[in-house]
Amino acid sequence: MKQFSDLISAIEITNKTNAKIDALVNYFKTAPSKDKLWLIALFTGKRPPRPIKTALMKQWCMEKTELPEWLFLESYSTVGDLGETIALLLPKPTHKLDLTLSEWMNELKLLKPKSDEEKKKFVFAAWSGLKQQERLIFNKLIGGNFRIGVSKKTLVNALAKLTGIDANQLMHSIIGNWDIDTISFEELIKGTHINYDNSKPYPFCLAYALEKELQELGDPDDWIVEQKWDGIRGQIVKRNNEIYIWSRGEELVTKQFPELVEAMTNFKEDFVIDGEILAMKDNAVLLFNDLQKRLNRKNVNKKLLEEVPIGFYAYDILEFNGNDIRSLPFATRRQTLENLFNSISLPEHIKLSFIVKFNKWEALNAIRDNSRAINSEGLMLKQKASPYHTGRKKGDWWKWKVDPLTIDAVMIYAQKGSGRRSSKYTDYTFAVKKDDGLVTVAKAYSGLTDKEITEISRWVNKNAIEKFGPVRTVKPELVFEIAFEGIAFSKRHKSGVALRFPRIARWRKDKPASEIDTLETVKSLILSC
């Protein structure tokens, strides 16, 4: 446990990805094989069911420490994490327990069917034999919360650095089906349980934001223009009657979208297609807010399939019947894609991206301005002669997004940042008017200069009126213009609306809080889009 505890500490004290990767590599070099497997399982969601309810952990901690509930809750409010609160409040250990991570996990798996009294005895013995940081890890192993800034991609990059194996292959290996009791670490990373050749994707070709006048792009006939949809980019790989779906974040997401897998089985040919995964209903694209309900789901039940059906807009084809065709001109690849889609009858939710017809550059302005009406982010401009690049290459592909929506809101909460900004308030919550009060509509942490952040931090220190752990409630006086890409009604938010990619456009020092927008004004933006 100490080795795993030291790894968590090393990861938590840095916000630099390379430092986290180095810490992971060092752990993989020195930890026992089963501990390595459990680390991968814990960080990729492959963990056993929670053996103990968190309410019991809280109850047992108060019993062990003889603290009244109000004092425990006050401590919890200050710390902000239940596992850490318990670890801090418990008395010093009376003895030393020296179990490996895999031994602890095996003990916790055996604990699940036992009585509450047996579980309590086990937990008390563990708390009494572990140091504070190790107790924290133990509590997190029970609670299932390892939000420490290690994504699947970071984990995979560490394994790639350790082994020299392709990162995408490693991603497929660790996301695929494997049993921690029957596979070794070496077998897992080598992918003995998968056929990577069938699933291997390509690096995505990315676009730059348009930074010049349309006329500077040359002859309109040299370009193909498409809608820029607000979903998630994905590559659908079909080889040897096997189908895999990769996200742009290099994650294997096949199981999340069974309707796409089913549709792709209609094709006889093999291919790798690049496109956009979208929430679609009645032949129309839904908002990203709807798509989010389907993302990162371990199990997609029938109800969710019906409530948020998924569609796919195909943009490009990178491989056809075993041949890598990325070097061919985009116009040629597009024709290959059209021939493929026209060869069979496909369900409505599988579509070719629509090519925008225009003769003059000026004609695109009105089309772009109307993008939000069809839940599009704007337009994509692609040179007909362009190959499918790896990453970004300026000049061949441009994204021309619609101008962001904006509202004026007042800051009501502030929280300190992390890393080099841990001493300053950098994360803010904003509100608009509702009746005679205020209601929160967005959180944002980007868009200000270092000088502005320093000025705001000083103001927060002088004007904080309440404290909730790391959060400060402040006087509703500072007004900011908040920019965002889209807006939708939401039952999950108190305001009833959800903003897409909110950020601070500017600090409105010229505007008093009495002149901020109302919730009615904010909601009217949904109807006007």
pLDDT value for 373:
86
Q: Please give the mean pLDDT across all residues of the chain.
A: 90
* pLDDT value for 522: 93
Please give the full DSSP string across 172-212, using - where no structure is assigned: HHHHS---TTT--HHHHHHTTTS-HHHH---PPEE-EEP-S
Decide if 32 contacts 184 (C-beta within 8 A).
no
pLDDT tens digits, residue range 295-316?
877 778 899 999 999 999 999 9
pLDDT at site 6: 87
Alpha-carbon distance 150 to 174, whole Å?
Answer: 15
State the pLDDT confidence band at 386, using cuts at 50, 70 and 90.
very high
* 425 has pLDDT over 70: yes
Burial of 434-452, coded b for 16+ CB within 10 Å and e otherwise, reads beeebbbbbebbebbeeee
Is the backbone of residue 160 left (phi > 0), alpha (psi -120 to 50) or beta? alpha
Q: Are 397 and 381 in contact (CB under 8 A)?
A: yes
Residue 219: the pLDDT is 96
CA atoms of 135 and 90, how far apart (whole Å): 9
Give me the pLDDT at residue 391, please.
83
Work out the average pLDDT over 8-12.
Answer: 83
pLDDT at 83: 85
Q: Write out pLDDT tens, residues 454-489.
A: 999 999 999 999 887 678 999 999 999 999 988 888
pLDDT at 220 over 70: yes
How does residue 147 score in pLDDT terms, banded at 50, 70 and 90? low
Q: Which residues pair with 272 in a beta bridge?
A: 237, 319
* pLDDT category of residue 146 using cuts at 50, 70 and 90: low
pLDDT at residue number 501: 87
Distance, CA of 364 to CA of 380 (rounded, Å):
11
Q: What pLDDT is recorded for position 420?
A: 63
d(CA 364, CA 146): 47
Mean pLDDT of 437-447: 92
- 196 vs 245, which has greater pLDDT? 245
Q: Is the pLDDT of residue 60 over 90?
A: yes
In this structure, of 109-118, 143-152, 328-337, 489-498, the range with the lowest mean pLDDT score is 143-152
Task: Tell whether the model's pLDDT for residue 528 goes beyond 70.
Answer: no
pLDDT at 88 over 60: yes
Asked which of 230-234, 310-314, 391-395 is least confident by mean pLDDT, the reply is: 391-395
| pLDDT score recorded for residue 127 | 94
Contact status, residue 482 vs residue 440, Cβ threshold 8 Å: no
For range 241-256, the mean pLDDT: 88
Structural domains of the chain in order of their starting residue, each with its CATH number:
2-143 (1.10.3260.10), 205-401 (3.30.470.30), 405-528 (2.40.50.140)
Residue 148: per-residue pLDDT:
67
Task: Give the pLDDT mean for 234-252.
Answer: 90
**Confidence (pLDDT) at 46:** 77
Query: In the structure, what pLDDT confidence band is assigned to residue 3 with cuts at 50, 70 and 90?
Result: confident
- pLDDT value of residue 526: 82
Task: Name the phi and psi angles at 378, rounded to 5.
Answer: 145, -140
List Cα–Cα distances, 302 to 258, 259, 308, in angstroms. 11, 11, 10
Q: Residue 308 CA to chain centroid, in angstroms? A: 19
Interval 314-349: pLDDT, tens: 999 999 999 999 999 999 999 999 999 999 998 999
For the segment 76-101, the average pLDDT, to the nearest whole number, is 86
Per-residue pLDDT reduced to its tens digit, 19-53: 999 999 999 999 999 999 999 988 887 778 888 88
pLDDT bucket at 178, cuts 50 / 70 / 90: confident
Q: How confident is the model at residue 145 (pLDDT cuts 50, 70, 90)?
A: low
Using a pLDDT cut of 70, give the percent of the chain over it: 96
Q: In which band, very low, low, confident or very high, does the pLDDT at 421 lie, cut at 50, 70 and 90? A: low
Distances in Å between the Cα of 423 and the Cα atoms of 127, 157, 226, 289, 453 are 32, 30, 45, 33, 11
Give yes or no for residue 419 having a pLDDT over 60: no
